[in-house]
């Protein structure tokens, strides 16, 4: 298939269809509206079901019901709407329901704004809803990568019986880029023998549930979940290492910001400064090891996290660097996007300071 | 020897956790008997609420999902859209359905979602210990209305069946009671009609069942049945509010 020009949100929706998603429950919120709009047209063409819910709360609970019934199901929203979905997300995690949640992040807190942001990092990776649970969080840096990751997200969700969040930002959702829909590598997936499909008189009854009234049972459930999360950490951590060889400064950035940082790296190179980048593709599980290894490189003098936030992911960079090298931060927030020039200036200031 | 009464296959052997005199047990049995009689158990998927009936998934002998507080109609929507041929029901109390889940039930009815809601109205939050519900009667005492519900402060109790009966795609809406044998028999008939209307694909169906809570009402089981009859029925009139024949 040749490359076609696709808008990020619509490409994400089509990728879900191609991955076999046949149920979509959503609610309007900018800047992700093209996802439900596209789904409303496309789902009937593939005998699927698009439903506009009365709220984000209802939408995620429809996802819960459909996922529990064994379907491939997705919802999408943007930051304030994702906050509303947190109840349903923790129930999905607790009941181990595979589903895909797309967050096209906008500025916050509160109503915030409608321009691109990365200020939902804490919410996505450190909990969001109540209780001990983890989401697999995928962070595409291009429309092509969004398409690839959305397709893989459904397989990951099914393999681990866990919700997967695809976290783009307003830029990924709204920009148009050339895209090629390629077949993603298929994983062997377990049968959904646990799903509530009606017994058809062929098996014992199935129950989808996250309630364990006996605290010892609830603790056991949590331990079992954490064994699963350990396996996800071992198998699914993804990272792009860029230009690390001989780098004096190593940027850590994801999503749209990583694209901007790549421009800054080229600009620095022209000035004779060697810079590299670690780009987490999975925000959870986080690629701590890649940063830890870079911290051990003799050439590396400092890390600089660049985010469209006041500094959220930088905390994980510090954890990984473990004091071996200084960790700096530069960010714009509230819908403002960093410029390569500003990143270059910050980097030069840091290197001056480090020297 | 002739069998006069037998436990329905629609219930598991798990012992109910309900308080003495609580009518949840009767209502569970009626729903289970109806599903057995209509031969729906092997295609039934129920949704349990948060509240006293939270363990309903242990009692109904069919596939079940446990929903978050108030969200059962949204969960049931997801299930029924995936398995349109199945018999889907939610079992919800008045705090769950009429308060935190008011939006979900109204919009499921508006869309004409083809499932059946068993709405158990005992005019109080039972599980959490007797707090005021949207359905608590004026003057009725609750742990968050210690002097009794004051209509000038907390408004007047919500009549859910009447409200939902204004929604065109709510095709079957009936309020019943289980305070005596005669009414229990009528309640079962209504529940059966609701499931039949669902399976005929008519639209959203709901049976509101007036129920007792001796523990939180501070009454004996017998006093509770009498209190329901004398206080709840005058405010919550029994009867059919919508039936499929009315749908043109």
Helices (H) and strands (E) in chain B, counts: 11, 7
Strand pairing report for A4-7 and A176-179: antiparallel
CA-derived radius of gyration, chain A:
21
The chain B residue lying nearest A210, using CA atoms, is B66
What is the tens place of the pLDDT at every residue in A106-144?
999 999 999 999 999 999 999 899 999 999 999 999 999
The chain A residue lying nearest B109, using CA atoms, is A54
Residues of chain B with pLDDT under 50: 246-248
What is the tens place of the pLDDT at every residue in A188-198?
999 999 999 99
ipTM for this model? 0.96
B18 belongs to a structural domain: no
By Cβ distance, the residue of A58, A70, A207 closest to B104 is A58
Determine whether the interchain pair B82/A23 forms a contact, defined as Cβ–Cβ distance below 8 Å.
yes
In chain B, how many domains are there?
1
Please give the Cα distance from A261 to A250 (Å, whole number). Answer: 10
B97 belongs to a structural domain: yes
The chain B residue lying nearest A207, using CA atoms, is B64
Residue A244 has pLDDT above 80, yes or no: yes
pLDDT band at A2 (very low <50, low <70, confident <90, very high): confident
B7 belongs to a structural domain: no
pLDDT band at A245 (very low <50, low <70, confident <90, very high): very high
What CATH code is carried by the domain that includes residue B76? Answer: 3.40.50.970
Please give the Cα distance from B236 to B10 (Å, whole number). Answer: 29
Per-residue model confidence (pLDDT) at position B247: 43
Q: What is the DSSP letter of A188?
A: P
SS3 of A121-182: HHHHHCCCCCCCCCCEEECCCCHHHHHHHHHHHHHHHHHHCCEEEEEEEHHHHHCEEEECCC
CA-derived radius of gyration, chain B:
17
By Cβ distance, the residue of A65, A198, A199 closest to B74 is A65
B6 belongs to a structural domain: no
Determine whether the interchain pair A88/B78 forms a contact, defined as Cβ–Cβ distance below 8 Å.
no
Provide mean pLDDT across the span A322-337: 97
- Nearest-CA distance A197 → chain B (Å): 7
B1 belongs to a structural domain: no
Please give the Cα distance from A8 to A172 (Å, whole number). Answer: 6
Residues 256-295 of A with CB under 8 A from B: none
Counting residues of chain A whose pLDDT is more than 90, the rounded percentage is 97
- Nearest-CA distance A239 → chain B (Å): 35
Determine whether the interchain pair B45/A58 forms a contact, defined as Cβ–Cβ distance below 8 Å.
no
Domains and CATH numbers, chain A: 4-236 (3.40.50.970), 240-354 (3.40.50.920)
Residue A185 has pLDDT above 60, yes or no: yes
By Cβ distance, the residue of B63, B71, B76 closest to A197 is B63
Per-residue model confidence (pLDDT) at position A354: 62
- 3-state secondary structure at position A312: coil
Look over chain A and give the mean of its residue pLDDT values, rounded to a whole number.
97
Question: Who contacts A112 (Cβ-Cβ below 8 Å, separation ≥6)?
Answer: A79, A80, A106, A119, A334, A335
Per-residue model confidence (pLDDT) at position A126: 96
Both structure tokens of A112: 């915030």
B137 belongs to a structural domain: yes
What is the tens place of the pLDDT at every residue in A287-304?
999 999 999 999 999 999
Residue A70 has pLDDT above 80, yes or no: yes
Please give the Cα distance from A276 to B167 (Å, whole number). Answer: 61
Please give the Cα distance from B81 to B112 (Å, whole number). Answer: 12
Enclosing domain of residue B51:
24-246
B192 belongs to a structural domain: yes
Q: Does A340 touch chain B (CB under 8 A)?
A: no
Q: Does A84 touch chain B (CB under 8 A)?
A: no
B5 belongs to a structural domain: no
> Which of B78, B80, B107, B109 would best serve as a mutation to test chain A binding (most A beta carbons within 10 A)?
B78
B170-202 CB burial, b ≥16 within 10 A, e <16: bbbbbbbbbbeeebbebbbebbbbbbbbbbeeb
Query: Is the dihedral angle over the CA atoms B210, B214, B215, B219 positive or is it negative?
Result: positive
By Cβ distance, the residue of B62, B66, B78 closest to A199 is B62
Using a CB–CB cut-off of 8 Å, the residues of B that contact A are 41-45, 47, 54, 57, 61-68, 71, 74-79, 81-83, 86-87, 103-104, 106-107, 111
Chain A residues whose CB is inside 8 A of the B47 CB are 65
- 3-state secondary structure at position A214: coil
């Amino acid at each position: 298939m040749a490359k076609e020009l696709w808008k990020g949100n619509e490409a994400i929706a089509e990728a879900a269809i191609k991955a076999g998603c046949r149920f979509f429950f959503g609610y309007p919120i900018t800047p992700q509206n093209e996802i439900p709009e596209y789904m409303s047209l496309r789902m009937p063409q593939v005998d699927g079901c698009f439903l506009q819910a009365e709220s984000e709360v209802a939408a995620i609970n429809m996802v819960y019901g459909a996922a529990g019934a064994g379907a491939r199901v997705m919802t999408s929203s943007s930051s304030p709407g994702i906050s509303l979905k947190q109840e349903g997300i923790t129930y999905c995690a607790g009941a181990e329901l595979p589903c895909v949640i797309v967050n096209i992040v906008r500025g916050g807190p509160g109503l915030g704004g409608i321009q691109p942001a990365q200020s939902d990092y804490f919410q996505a990776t450190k909990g969001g809803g109540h209780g001990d649970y983890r989401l697999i969080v995928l962070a595409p840096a291009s429309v092509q990568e969004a398409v690839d990751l959305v397709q893989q997200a459904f397989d990951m969700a099914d393999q681990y019986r866990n919700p997967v969040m695809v976290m783009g930002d307003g830029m990924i959702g709204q920009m148009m880029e050339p895209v090629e829909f390629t077949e993603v590598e298929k994983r062997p997936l377990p049968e959904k023998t646990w799903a509530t499909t009606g017994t058809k008189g062929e098996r014992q009854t199935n129950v989808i549930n996250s309630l364990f009234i006996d605290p010892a049972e609830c603790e056991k459930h949590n331990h079992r979940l954490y064994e699963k999360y350990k396996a996800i950490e071992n198998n699914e951590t993804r990272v792009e290492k860029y230009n690390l060889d001989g780098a004096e400064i190593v940027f850590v950035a994801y999503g749209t910001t990583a694209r901007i940082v790549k421009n800054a790296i080229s600009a620095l190179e022209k000035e004779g400064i060697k810079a590299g980048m670690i780009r987490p593709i999975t925000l959870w599980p986080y690629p701590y090891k890649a940063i830890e290894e870079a911290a051990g490189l003799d050439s590396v003098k400092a890390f600089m996290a660049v985010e469209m936030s006041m500094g959220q992911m930088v905390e994980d960079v510090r954890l990984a660097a473990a004091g071996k090298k200084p960790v700096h931060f530069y960010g714009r927030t509230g819908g403002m996007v960093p410029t390569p020039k500003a990143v270059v200036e910050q980097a030069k200031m840091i290197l001056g300071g480090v020297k | 020897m002739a069998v006069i009464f037998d436990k329905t296959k629609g219930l598991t052997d798990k012992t109910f956790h309900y308080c003495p005199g609580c009518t949840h047990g009767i209502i569970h049995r009626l729903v289970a008997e109806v599903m057995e009689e209509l031969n729906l158990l092997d295609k039934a998927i129920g949704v349990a609420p948060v509240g006293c009936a939270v363990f309903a998934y242990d009692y109904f002998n069919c596939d079940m999902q446990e929903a978050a507080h108030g969200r059962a109609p949204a969960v049931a929507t997801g299930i029924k859209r995936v398995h349109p041929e199945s018999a889907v029901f939610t079992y919800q109390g008045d705090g769950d359905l009429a308060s935190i889940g008011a939006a979900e039930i109204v919009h499921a009815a508006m869309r004409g979602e083809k499932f059946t809601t068993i709405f158990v109205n005992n005019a109080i939050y039972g599980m959490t210990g007797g707090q005021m519900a949207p359905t608590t009667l004026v003057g009725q005492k609750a742990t968050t209305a210690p002097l009794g519900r004051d209509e000038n402060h907390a408004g007047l109790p919500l009549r859910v069946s009447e409200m939902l009966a204004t929604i065109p795609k709510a095709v079957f809406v009936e309020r019943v009671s289980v305070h005596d044998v005669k009414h229990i028999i009528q309640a079962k008939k209504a529940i059966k009609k609701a499931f039949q209307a669902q399976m005929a694909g008519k639209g959203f169906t709901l049976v509101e069942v007036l129920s007792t809570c001796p523990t939180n009402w501070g009454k004996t089981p017998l006093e509770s049945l009498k209190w329901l009859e004398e206080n709840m029925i005058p405010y919550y009139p029994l009867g059919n509010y919508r039936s499929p024949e009315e749908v043109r």
